[in-house]
Amino acid sequence: MIDGKTYYAACDVAKAIGFAQSLAAVTNHYGNGTVARLPSQKGLHQCRVITIKDVYRLIMNAVNQNRNLELRKRAEPYAEMLLDVLVDATVKPKHPNKHNKKREA
């Protein structure tokens, strides 16, 4: 957490999605971005970190790839999961509507 916001290791996210060159993918999409010191097996190292919004952007950018069909194929399940969450959050009512309740006979 940085300033109360959760961040994710950008290269790890890019690798999980399927970018072969994760550092290049992150740099191309986000420039230098935010850098944090994260623990690893070899001690602390500097790493670019991204917010959840940027994770979603990286997923959607991967799905829209025209040149790398393998990347697109690997990213599609993540995009579907993301879209399911968005649809569930926006389509389903948050509060039960008293008019939708079944009337007792």
Cα–Cα distance, 54 to 25 (Å, whole number): 12
Contact 58, 17 (CB under 8 A): yes
Non-local CB neighbours of 50 within 8 Å, separated by 6+ positions:
7, 8, 10, 13, 26, 30, 33, 34, 58
If pLDDT is split at 50, 70 and 90, which confidence band does 57 have? confident
- The residue extents of the domains of the chain are 8-91
pTM, full prediction: 0.66
Percentage, residues of the chain above pLDDT 90: 0
Largest CA distance in the chain: 69
